[in-house]
Structure 1
Amino acid sequence: MCLIVYVDAVASLLDGPRAQGAFLLRSILAPPWSIAIRDEAPLTLVAMVRGDAWIVPEEGAAVRLHPGDVAIIRGTGPYTVADDPGTAPQVIIHPGQRCTTPDGQELAEMSQLGVRTWGNSLEGPTMLLTGTYTMQGEVSQRLLSALPPLLAVPRESWDSPLVPLLATEIVKDDPGQEAVLDRLLDLLLIATLRQWFAQPGAKAPAWYEAHSDPVVGRALQMLHNDPAQPWTVASLAARTGVSRAALARRFTALVGEPPMSYLTEWRLALAADLLREPGTTVGAVAHRVGYGSSFALSTAFKRRRGLSPRQHQVAGRT
């Protein structure tokens, strides 16, 4: 189920990636080791607890991770995680977390070392945590499309307790533990993304940078917090304390599109995610995102996306 918490302009977009029974694993390894990832997951987070590791994408430069570093891999392309870029893969992870040897032999269980833990040595000098998101929503895509395929945030650039906390919780098997881990993974992802965009040279989306503007940031917050409101440029301007012309000009300059155009795309992105919740009707979604009827939502949805809401629902189930 897609849960969206309307908090502020940035939080609501950062909140798009929500773990729901995400695949989480603690790996303890002794060199030489190398794992080829071919799982086609749209988003993966790797956090180093101890030791070093290399992430080697199929294209682009390899990244070395040290203790406390966090990496995000965006997109479904293959990559390798290894003790050294030159180490040949010993395990291949396929979609659905199916594991084989490089020559195709099935590995029913990869050297289990405890709860959510595997590796080749319980005393291995390297420990890393992996969290894999298996679904990607329309809301999160507005954020994730701005990211490079591979990014890393070094420990030295931030002071976060989340990596050791996740390392502690990932090996517990208490009631409700899956929900606890999902939320910790979300928190670590959001904190990492926020830190990444704060780095010099990071190319943050225009809407992200606009949130700091006292006028446009307030307008974005209102649009995100309550998309069902019958917003107009005039009503937004009145709530932000500027004229309609001033708001339209400032919003377009900072965000890259006019307020009402942005609102339409935001509503349709929300609708696209909400439509894939089990048991959801087009009429109910229309009401939640600011359309007066299922017909009105269907017309706007098909005009912008080329398929009807019902076709979108069916496509999400296949």
Structure 2
Amino acid sequence: MAENPDSYRDNPASLEDPLSQILSLIDARAVMSSGLRARGLWAVRVAPVGALKCNIIKGGQCQLDVGAARWALEEGSCFLVGANLPFIIGTDLDRIPKAAEDVFAGVKANDCAWLDTGPGPDFHCLGGRMDLPATAGFLADALPPVIVIHADEPAAVRLRWLVDRLEEELSSGSIGASVMAATIMQMIFIEMIRNIPSGQVGSWLAALADPRIGASLRALHQDPERNWRIEDLASVACLSRSRFSARFRSAVGLPPMGYLTRLRIALAQKALAQPGTTITAVAARAGYGSESAFGFAFRRITGVTPRQVQKQASREKEV
């Protein structure tokens, strides 16, 4: 965003729904990773990575273990594991798991590793990952550690259709197939992210399903520069000031003004990376009267200074 007297509203992303807006801001891209075909009784431990990981069960059954929680997964189900979380997948999680880096050693992206542990059931899954840039905290913080979508859920029907199209592209050899496959994988991740459980506490994504709090969140995302007051947001939600504040904090995990600050800082991160933008202009759009006050809030939330963001963006453009 070049410096101008207007606002974040000049960016079409600010007029989209909140999830589309945030995905556009962080520019997170999903890619197909290696799949797995297995036979018998087995377990594989996947080390934590700074990315969202998803798997789609194409055939057979397995179990998923993340922390102290365990799920039984059937053919047609899918799961997404948050960044920096290890997990174990397999048909027998009581055995010592094999390291994923050993199982997938030498396997190219879009191909499947083969794990044969003897007689037993066959299994097939496809995997993908969405790398999260440094600006992705606003999204990552809203996601639960794990999202599981079972085969009998409505979202699973859409995901199966997408996976079928993905496999068609990967095997077609058609021109543009790699771009099509990457686009479909992006759609798979978005489908999973927007199916976050509605009862998730402390998540703006889940809170969008609340008709009253969701309305206030959409209003904030559509006009983040407005001089919002609690009374204004409570009116949008058709609640009293006190009931709105309590309900918002319970659903989102932050007070309304605290959420607005985080949203403005997320928008500022994107703006600072654009050529020709000054810190003074971005600070003003974020509602701060001085660079120093903006810089203090920015560093408190992001861990870096606005100038560091600009320097990093400049270095990346030179590469």
* 1:53–1:83 CA contact under 8 A, matched in 2: yes
- Cα 1:261–1:270 change in 2 (3 A) is same
- Structure 2 unmatched runs, 5+: 1-11
Mapped contact 1:302–1:309 kept (Cα < 8 A): yes
Deviation at 1:44, TM superposition (A): 0.9
SS of the equivalent of 1:143 reads coil
**Matched residue, 1:231:** 227
- Distance in 2 of aligned mates of 1:5 and 1:190: 18
- 2:248 maps to what in 1? 255
Distance 1:247 1:8 in 2: 25
User: Residue 139 of structure 1 corresponds to which residue in structure 2?
Assistant: 138
1:226: how far off? 3.2
Say what the alpha-carbon RMSD is for the aligned residues: 4.2
Q: Residue 216 of structure 2: SS of its match in structure 1?
A: helix
1:25–1:118 Cα contact (<8 Å) kept: yes
**Which residue of the partner structure matches residue 31 of structure 1?**
40
Match status 1:187 vs 2:196:
no
Quick one: structure 1 residues 17 and 281, their matched pair in 2 at CA, closer, same or farther if it must change by over 3 Å? closer
Identity of aligned residues (%): 20
Cα separation, partners in 2 of 1:248 and 1:310, compared to 1, 3 Å:
farther
**Given the superposition, is the C-alpha separation of residues 312 and 52 from structure 1 closer, same or farther in structure 2, using an over 3 Å criterion?**
same
Contact 2:58 2:75 in 1 (8 A): yes
Contact 1:41 1:132 in 2 (8 A): no
Give the 3 Å change call, closer, same or farther, for CA 282–81 of structure 1 in structure 2: farther
Q: Superposed, which structure 2 residues align to 1:1-318 within 5 Å?
A: 6-9=15-18, 12=21, 19-20=28-29, 22-57=31-66, 59-93=67-101, 100=102, 107=105, 109-110=106-107, 116-120=110-114, 125-136=122-133, 137-144=136-143, 147=144, 149-159=145-155, 160-170=157-167, 171-172=170-171, 173-198=173-198, 202-205=199-202, 207-208=204-205, 210-212=207-209, 216-227=213-224, 229-233=225-229, 236=232, 240=236, 248-256=241-249, 257-272=254-269, 275=272, 281=277, 283=279, 286=282, 290-291=286-287, 295=291, 297-302=294-299, 304-305=301-302, 307-312=304-309
Shift of 1:266: 1.0
Deviation at 1:43, TM superposition (A): 1.7
TM-score, normalised to structure 1's length? 0.70
Q: Quote the offset at 1:237 in angstroms.
A: 5.7
More helix as a share of residues: 2
CA distance in 2, matches of 1:234, 1:74: 32
Aligned AA (1:25): S
CA deviation after TM superposition for structure 1 residue 51, in Å: 0.8
Equivalent pairs counted in the alignment come to: 289
Distance 1:87 1:117, change over 3 A: farther
Q: Check conservation: 1:302, 1:308, Cα contact below 8 A.
A: yes
CA shift, 1:52, in A, is: 1.2
Distance 1:90 1:185 in 2: 27
Give the deviation of 1:162 after TM superposition.
1.8
Contact 2:57 2:76 in 1 (8 A): yes
Aligned residue identity for 2:242: R
Q: How does the TM-score come out when normalised to structure 2?
A: 0.70
Post-superposition Cα deviations, 1:118-144, rounded to whole Å, max 9, x if no partner, equal: 12289x932211111222502212312
